């Protein structure tokens, strides 16, 4: 049976963050949290294949209790089950500790209900490290395919998946045995507009909640701060650059452009702007 698992994260909407102009600090209050956009597309892909092949989609997330909102969004998209792994002991986790928790969770689920595919979004928009997916694949020793843009085929009888991934220079089509782990680009699937029954079901859905002890007993040496080789030494605000010259074209655009080009030439970038770069 097709069983896909998608690891998701609830993140602050970093595209909508404001900086306090006086202190230069992040205004963390009132920043809405959202389902990580790349994870949403991964869920959509998993649900697409479930609808083709039958089977089920499970989503898991390591996070605070409020993560239930993100899980419900996945149920709305068509996922069947949600597991929230939540415990104070997990806090302070870097990517290594996070991949440990997720890998053990996935291992436990895989033992009971074998998985065909494990999907991650390519990166979370708060950390932007893209490290947890690869980390989990190493721990579980499942083949890794990152930057997946198309799932061409999932062959359950013969036990392999064919995935196209995008690199800077070309696209590669990779064939890997199941279970395989994918990290997904947005192109992998479009977010569906949920049916009303799915939406109504998700509004009241309560996920399974796991702690650091049960049903899986996580090794405390590998979770949270203890299990994190990296730690933050310092946090600062990005430097403010000295403002350059701003031309308001009162005398017309042509004048403004001539002025701007003069400065470009003066900076020695071209012999002349029409002459091409030096």
What residues between 91 and 150 interact with another protein by CB under 8 A? 94-96, 99, 123, 125-135, 137-139, 141, 143-147
Regarding 56 and contact with another protein (CB under 8 A), the answer is no
- Residue 195 found at the interface with another protein (CB under 8 A): yes
Does residue 183 contact residue 122 with C-beta atoms inside 8 Å? yes
Q: Which is nearer to another protein, 214 or 269 (CB)?
A: 269
Near another protein by CB under 8 A: residue from 15, 23, 65, 111: 15
Q: Taking CB under 8 A as the rule, does residue 194 contact another protein?
A: yes
Q: What are the phi and psi torsion angles at 82 (to 5°)?
A: -125, 140
Residues 202-241 vs another protein: string with x where CB under 8 A?
A: -xx-----------------------xxxxxxxxxxx-xx
Do the beta carbons of residue 59 and residue 5 sit within 8 Å?
yes
Q: How far is the CB of 108 from another protein (least distance, A)?
A: 19
With contacts defined by CB under 8 A, how many residues of the chain interact with another protein? 95
Quote the least distance from Cβ 214 to another protein, whole Å: 25
Q: Which residues contact residue 94 at a Cβ distance below 8 angstroms, ignoring those fewer than 6 apart?
A: 228, 229, 230, 231
**Burial class for 41, CB neighbours closer than 10 Å (0-12, 13-18, 19+):** buried
Name the minimum Å distance from CB 102 to another protein: 11
Among 23, 29, 157, 170, binds another protein (CB under 8 A): 170
Asked if 4 and 55 count as a contact pair (C-beta separation under 8 A), the reply is yes
Closest residue by Cα to residue 95 from 206, 211, 2, 228:
228
Stretch that binds another protein, among 54-62, 82-90, 111-119, 192-200 (CB under 8 A): 192-200
Shortest spacing between CB 216 and another protein, in angstroms: 19
Query: Smaller CB distance to another protein: residue 26 or 53?
Result: 26
23 binds another protein (CB under 8 A): no
CA angle, 66 then 37 then 67, to 5°:
10
**3-state secondary structure (DSSP) of residue 33:** strand
145 dihedral zone (left: phi>0; alpha: psi -120 to 50; beta): beta
Binding test (CB under 8 A) with another protein, winner from 33, 162, 209, 211: 162
- Residues numbered 248-277 forming contacts with another protein, rule: CB under 8 A: 248-249, 253-254, 256-258, 260-261, 263-264, 267, 269, 272-277
* Nearest C-alpha neighbor of 57 from the set 77, 33, 32, 31: 77
Task: Find the shortest distance in angstroms from Cβ 105 to another protein.
Answer: 16
Give the chain's length: 278
Quote the least distance from Cβ 162 to another protein, whole Å: 7
The terminus-to-terminus CA distance of the chain in angstroms comes to 63
């Amino acid at each position: 049976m097709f069983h896909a698992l998608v690891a998701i994260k609830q993140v602050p909407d970093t595209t909508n963050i404001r900086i306090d102009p006086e202190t230069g600090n992040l205004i963390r209050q009132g920043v809405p949290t959202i389902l990580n956009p790349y994870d949403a597309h991964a869920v959509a892909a998993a649900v697409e294949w479930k609808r083709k092949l039958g089977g089920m989609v499970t989503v898991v997330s390591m996070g605070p209790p409020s993560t239930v909102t993100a899980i419900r969004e996945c149920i709305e998209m068509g996922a069947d089950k949600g597991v929230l792994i939540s415990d104070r002991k997990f806090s302070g986790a870097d990517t290594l500790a996070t991949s440990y928790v997720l890998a053990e969770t996935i291992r436990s689920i895989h033992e009971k209900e074998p998985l065909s595919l494990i999907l991650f979004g390519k990166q979370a928009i708060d950390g932007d490290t893209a490290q947890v997916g690869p980390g989990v694949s190493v721990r579980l020793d499942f083949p890794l395919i990152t930057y997946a843009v198309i799932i061409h085929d999932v062959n359950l009888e013969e036990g392999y998946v064919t995935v196209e991934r995008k690199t800077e220079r070309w696209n590669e089509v990779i064939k890997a045995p199941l279970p395989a782990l994918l990290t997904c680009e947005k192109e992998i699937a479009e977010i569906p507009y949920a049916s009303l029954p799915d939406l109504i079901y998700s509004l009241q859905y309560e996920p399974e909640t796991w702690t650091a002890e049960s049903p899986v007993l996580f090794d405390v040496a590998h979770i949270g701060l203890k299990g994190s080789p990296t730690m933050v030494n310092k946090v600062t605000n990005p430097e403010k650059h000295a403002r350059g010259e701003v031309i308001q074209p009162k005398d017309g655009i042509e004048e403004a452009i001539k002025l701007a080009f003069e400065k470009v030439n003066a900076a020695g970038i071209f012999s002349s702007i029409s002459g091409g770069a030096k």
